[in-house]
Chains A and B, each alone.
Chain A
Amino acid sequence: MRTLDHFHGGIHPAEHKLESSELPSRIAPLPSLLILPLHQHIGAGAKVQVQAGDHVLKGQLLASAQGMVSAAIHAPTSGTVTAVQPHTVPHPSQLPGLCVHIEPDGKDQWIDHAPLEYRAIPKSELLAKLREAGIVGLGGATFPTHVKYSLATDQRIQTLVINGAECEPWITTDDRLMRERAAEIVRGIEVLRHLAEPAETLIGIEDNKPQAIAAMRAACAGSDIEIVTIPTLYPSGGEKQLIKILTGKEVPSGGRPTGIGVACSNVATAYAIHRFVDHGEPLISRQMTVTGNVRTPQNIEVLIGTPLEELVRLAEPLPGATGYILGGPMMGVHIDDLRLPVVKGSNCIIVKSAKLFPPAEPAMPCIRCARCAAACPADLQPQELHWFSKARDFGKTQEYSLFDCIECGACAYVCPSHIPLVQYFRFAKSEIWQRERETQAAEIARERHEFRMERIEREKREKAERLALKEKAATAAKPAAPIAAPVMINPDADPDDTLQMRIDAAMTRAKEQAATAQPRNTENLTPQQQAKVAEIEARRAKFSELASNAGADDESSKKS
């Protein structure tokens, strides 16, 4: 029996897991519409490769990964791309992001795909393939898997931790997945073991999921993967917390687990990897819990891009919905609009009702009881962080390790004054990021400005040197016939040619040129090139519209 470590603090919120964990999971029917945001993972958004009107097959690439930290997006079913345009995405801002909209044709026709003999290819190639398959961490952080397992040559992974803790209340996707697809998960874990070559592999599961533990034990029988039962305590499913429990090692502040020889992935990620290597399927669907104020809370396998509305309908919502939570009640995002699509990072949708989720109690001033500090799994001082965030003293919040806060909400849960502590921490973090961006922009501007000043200086100097040289040459060549003056003077220039006239002439010239200019070399364009041309034309049109609007504004302001 492995001796377990424990992390600081932790809480026991009401679990609410039985509601959805006992029904077998089902597969959602094809939705009427799919909306696929290009930015579903941490890192750079994917680069769109299709355009409106294209017919796509199931599993076809819609957008390719851009840069190292990025992942591709694929068509979840066959159909027609109806638009590539902004749509509200599941993000706390509820702002629109660019999405590919697909109307399914109902045939669900696969593109050619085949299993991958991953042991026969170099690891770098396997990682590149995972990137092209759009595999990201499905535990919630959506960190691209290929980045996590791209290890430096001197990096050794001692422990591979597979996260099956699922500590957040209400959510049961990993539980159901482990019960129903244990063997498949293990196939995926084998791929991760091949990549990381760990000395030991541990699967951490909270003791409130006995069936999942039994199923995983059975699937791992005969292999050296060890299932470790851990006590139920929120947030034991946090990456750093789970690593602490299982290995006793602490991930340093600002560091990555790989830095201390540990790699950590979620069971759902392992399952997605299995789908890819054993069936050749990119990441196009995932399991989600639909629970809360619905008649049949359950787990549903759903295509990425399905509108949440259609997903929730499958669980028969009850009257009296007061809103929705995307994710769990502790760390999820509260939304009001169900037209948002399912993305790779969505693991749960909870329908709120006044009874299940009563409105937050009014807050009172902090009484410095330090209960928050006792509950904080990151061993922070939330009361101090709260104080400094409230006073906008962001330098101090950083001194108190604000960025070690995992926004788990344990502090706010225990706070007797009902202070929305996490909201303060999120506010402070985004203010600090904003400042970071501004400082960077200022730094770039400063460099560019200094470069420009230097350039102007240099040009002046060079000009002076050239002039001096020319003068010298001129004096030397004086006896010879004086040739054309160095400056060309327009022979038919009117002496009273004003600046304005020259400008007008230039404008008409530019207009004529624009009018007579015929597009050249426009035959045999590839669709991509055509799309580019169309894009540029649209941009031009927008500019001229903007300019005419601005002009109109100017005129109206002049009149007034």
Chain B
Amino acid sequence: MISALWVMVGISLLLGAVLGYSAIKFKVEGNPLVEKIDAVLPQTQCGQCGFPGCKPYAEAIAKGEADINKCPPGGEDGIRKLAELLGVDYKPFGEGAGPKAKAVAFIDEQTCIGCTLCLQACPVDAIAGAAKQMHTIIASECTGCELCVAPCPVDCISMVGLPESIQTWKWPYPVYALAQPQTPTREMPKS
């Protein structure tokens, strides 16, 4: 009896030590939920959600301080993904918010005075240029966040919609005729 007790105590101490060790050794940096939420956000860093970037929004969602329907660039799919991740119901966009068509910024190279203000605003360094030099958007890196539009003192930045291309084209959701359900008539023999 006593020896059995000792064995159990020994086992529990051993397991406890293993658990304690792995808790230190495999410690997860940061809040894993925030990371997971951040991973489904589009990383546009546009602030349209009312937070200064995707990560802050993710933190707010994780704390339960923000709704999941606040990110226009993510679109309805984004809300769906968040709902799935958090195990809550899908929620459509609120008043005034809504998904946006993808666009990239364009700088009118003739008007640009090289003030570098847009360069400082771009959260993903998608603008190339130096002081007093013409600036250009690196279109492939631009996330379309529009943060560079307002700071430009000469209004030379415009957002240009991305046309659908063969590379981005998607097969449509199938639409086809459904057979009309046949209403049985009275004359039909009952089998």
Q: Which residues of A contact B (CB under 8 A)?
A: 39, 89, 91-93, 95, 97, 360-364, 420, 423-424, 426-427, 429-431, 433-435, 437-438, 441-446, 448-449, 451-452, 499, 503, 506-507, 509-510, 514, 540, 543-544, 546-551, 554
Contacts and interface: CB of A to CB of B under 8 A. Distances in A.
Contacts of B177: 360, 362-363
Given A363-B178, A452-B123, A507-B111, 12 more contacts: A95-B169, A363-B179, A364-B179, A430-B171, A431-B170, A442-B42, A448-B141, A499-B153, A503-B154, A514-B110, A547-B106, A549-B158
Secondary structure type dominating chain B contacts:
loop
10 contacts: A420-B174, A423-B171, A423-B174, A441-B43, A452-B124, A499-B153, A506-B114, A509-B113, A548-B108, A551-B155
A506 B115 contact: yes
B69 interface: no
A442 B170 CA distance: 19
Given A430-B170, A442-B42, A547 B178 contact: no
Interface of B: 38, 41-45, 53-54, 77, 106-115, 123-126, 132, 141, 143, 153-156, 158, 160, 164-166, 168-174, 176-180
Contacts of A554: 155
Going nearest first, the 9 A-B pairs with the smallest beta carbon separation are A547-B108, A550-B158, A445-B43, A93-B169, A423-B174, A362-B179, A448-B124, A442-B43, A430-B170
A290 B99 CA distance: 46
Contacts of B173: 427
Nearest to A428: B171
Contact of B125 (A435, A438, A441, A451): A451
Contacts of A360: 176-177
B56 to A, nearest CB: 12
Contacts of B124: 445, 448-449, 452
A429 B44 contact: no
A547 B156 contact: yes
A333 to B, nearest CB: 11
Contacts, number: 126
B129 to A, nearest CB: 13
A424 B110 contact: no
Secondary structure type dominating chain A contacts:
helix
Contacts of A426: 171
B108 A546 contact: yes
Contacts of A445: 42-45, 124, 141, 143
Contacts of A437: 168
Contacts of A89: 166
Contact of A507 (B53, B109, B154): B154
Contacts of B106: 543, 546-547
Given A363-B178, A420-B176, A424-B174, A443 B112 contact: no
A446 B154 CA distance: 29
B156 to A, nearest CB: 6
Given A443-B43, A445-B44, A445-B45, A547 B168 contact: no
A449 B38 CA distance: 13
A449 B113 contact: no
A450 to B, nearest CB: 9
B45 A449 contact: yes
B153 A503 contact: yes
Contacts of B53: 449
Contacts of A499: 153
A91 B108 CA distance: 34
A90 B42 CA distance: 33
B110 A446 contact: no
A174 to B, nearest CB: 27
A506 B174 contact: no
Nearest to B41: A442
B133 to A, nearest CB: 10
Given A449-B45, A452-B124, A546-B108, A441 B143 contact: yes
A452 B125 contact: yes
A543 B107 contact: yes
Contact of A97 (B123, B125, B166): B166
Nearest to B142: A445
B112 A510 contact: yes
Contact of A540 (B109, B141, B166, B169): B109
A540 B110 contact: yes
Contacts of B156: 547
A41 to B, nearest CB: 13
Contacts of B178: 362-364
Given A39-B166, A444-B141, A550-B158, A427 B113 contact: no
A91 B170 contact: no
Contact of B171 (A429, A448, A451): A429
Contacts of A441: 42-43, 143
Given A510-B113, A544-B110, A446 B170 contact: no
A89 B169 CA distance: 13
Nearest to A542: B106
A169 to B, nearest CB: 22
A420 B170 CA distance: 17
A161 B73 CA distance: 48
A344 B116 CA distance: 48
Contacts of A423: 171, 174, 176
B111 A547 contact: yes
A383 to B, nearest CB: 15
A368 to B, nearest CB: 17
A544 B108 CA distance: 5
Nearest to A503: B153
A93 B44 CA distance: 28
A169 B47 CA distance: 55
Nearest to B123: A449
Of B42, B106, B126, B171, most A-chain CB atoms within 10 Å: B171
Contact of A506 (B44, B113, B126, B170): B113
Nearest to B143: A445
Contacts of A434: 168, 170
B105 to A, nearest CB: 11
Contact of B113 (A433, A503, A543, A548): A503
